[in-house]
Structure 1
Amino acid sequence: MTGDELPRLGAWVKLPAPESVELLALAGFDFAVIDAEHGAIDLRTMSTMIGLARGCGIAPFVRVAGTTPRDVQVPLDAGAAGLFVPQINSVAQAQDAVRAVRFPPLGRRGASTSGRAGQWGRAPLGDYLRAGNDDVRLIAQTENVTALSAIADIGAVAGVDAVFIGPMDLTVSGRFQEGSPEMTNLITAAEQSCADHHIPLGTVASADAAELLQRRGYDFLVLGADTTILRQGAHALVNSVRTATPGAGR
């Protein structure tokens, strides 16, 4: 798979509100990442979000909490376009993720065509199995120093489609200061390693998005979260009124 086959711009969905997905679609995002690792989103809401995203033409990904069958089976059966799997810090952990997400012979995912992924029982078994192994995207989140040092090897594991640099966890696990030369050099080396080995690469971004896509070789970006977008938009709106009308203070 190449980076061109991945949707380019996405956002985390942390609020347990399906309308967040619809609003992201209307805003022009290519994909949404329903956050089951850090967001308080139950399985029923997750399934609704996935269905709504598909209907709105935005690719529904899920960031799972781990790789147990309960973590991966429900979003995949519900029709997720792919999974972001956190804390993949070695080739062995990447292989474990593949085994959890893929059908045999690559993995051990359980099969059932009765869900949305199987068109509610309508899809032929062969098509359902092929889609699960060929069309569902597995994104390995690399989030510590060891992971970034091995990022190309992680991305080359059969069944992994792309790698994702998680700068916040990298900062915490490596005890870096944000923007420190050591952290910058580590990320730059990881970017170059992915470019040299043609590994699709993603990360989070904000004002630096254009640079990441155009000059630093990233294939896809997560541009914040629904919560951040709401907070920033609300702050800008209130601040603009208070600035224009000094008497409108608290």
Structure 2
Amino acid sequence: MMQNFLTRAHAADRGLLGTWVKLPSFETVQMLGQAGFDFVVVDMEHAPHSLQRAVELVFCAQSCGMAALVRLPDHSGMTIQPLLDGGADGLLIPRVTAPAIAQSLTRRMTFAPAGERGLGTTSRAGQWGLGAMEDYLARGTHECARIVQLEDWQSLESARDFAQLEHVDGLFIGHGDLYLSSGKPAHDPEVRALTGRMVAVTKDAGILSAAAAANPEDAQLYLDMGFSLVMVSNDLTLFGKAAAELVTSARKRS
């Protein structure tokens, strides 16, 4: 498994490039690794991955040389312990609207006594009990990316409050849900300014910034803005668009 995702993300001259995993397929994850992505995010919020399949996809991605994050399905926290013990490099918390929510859930990603995560050295993260406990604890403490998704205007305006929380390692701007609540798309000048302010807040706090891009052009834009992590498209859309373009091209008359 990857041992230094946070360190690598902070040290990168330019942001790392990833994509979302929505298909429960090992083969497509392997192809993403072959394509050269730095990391993937297994999406349990907007894809029906079971807990077991999510852990298996984490293993598959890491075996292909990519880091593997997981987006939690909700705020219940029930999947936090098994996903981290399954070796995930970090977790994204969707739709966070208050610092108290972020603090509560990131504490559950942090070992006691600072947090509430329990000891599980017999898990994959602990090398099935064959690894050193110090390594298991060090990785869980220093290399676990705890990323909070801010997806409404008020929360993003208060980004500094989230960035200053003890166990938050990164902020993600959710342009999709921001559009639903504000009516302003990602390219709106006000949204662009808000996005830039969030990046500045994360840099001041020394934490990661993350955004999702629909296409390579938007991915380049976010990388140029200084985002640490950029997820472009997703496995399902990549396959669907490629298939549709192939069919359209094959049926064209000369």
Fold in common (TM above 0.5): yes
The residue number in structure 1 matching 2:235 is: 226
- 1:213 is aligned with what amino acid? L
Distance change (3 Å), C-alpha of 1:5 and 1:161 = farther
Quote the Cα distance in structure 2 between the aligned partners of 1:193 and 1:161: 12
**Aligned equivalents of 2:141, 2:204: Cα separation in 1:** 26
- Counterpart of 1:75, as a letter, is L
Structure 1, gaps ≥5 residues long: none
- Structure with bigger gyration radius: 1
**Aligned position for 1:50:** 58
Does structure 2 retain, via aligned residues, the 8 Å contact 1:68–1:100?
Answer: no
Identify unmatched segments of 5+ residues in structure 2.
1-5
Alignment of 1:149-164 (within 5 A): 149-164=157-172
Q: TM-score when scaled to structure 1?
A: 0.89
* 1:4 partner amino acid: H
The match for 1:191 among 199, 222, 239 is 199
* Separation in structure 2 between the aligned mates of residue 139 and residue 211 of structure 1, nearest angstrom: 21
What is the CA deviation profile of residues 98-154 of structure 1, one whole-angstrom value per residue up to 9, with x for unaligned ones?
A: 211111122101211111101011123232122111111111111111211121331
Identity %: 35
Please give the root-mean-square deviation of Cα atoms over the aligned residues, in Å: 2.0
**Paired position in structure 1 for 2:116:** 108
Q: 1:162-201 to 2 correspondence within 5 Å?
A: 162-176=170-184, 179-201=187-209
CA contact (8 A) 1:156 1:199 kept: no
The whole-number CA distance in structure 2 between the counterparts of 1:59 and 1:155 is 23
Match for residue 4 of structure 1?
Answer: 10
C-alpha separation between the residues in 1 aligned to 2:63 and 2:186? 39
What is the total number of aligned residue pairs between the two structures? Answer: 244
Query: What's the secondary structure of 2:70's corresponding residue?
Result: strand
Q: What TM-score results when the alignment is normalised by the length of structure 2?
A: 0.88
Match of 1:209 among 206, 212, 219: 219
Q: Corresponding residue for 2:82?
A: 74
CA distance in structure 2 between the partners assigned to 1:187 and 1:30 by the alignment? 23
Q: Which moved more, 1:184-193 or 1:229-238?
A: 184-193
Q: Which SS does the other structure have where 1:101 is aligned?
A: coil
Shift of 1:160: 1.3
Q: Give the AA of the match of 1:38.
A: H
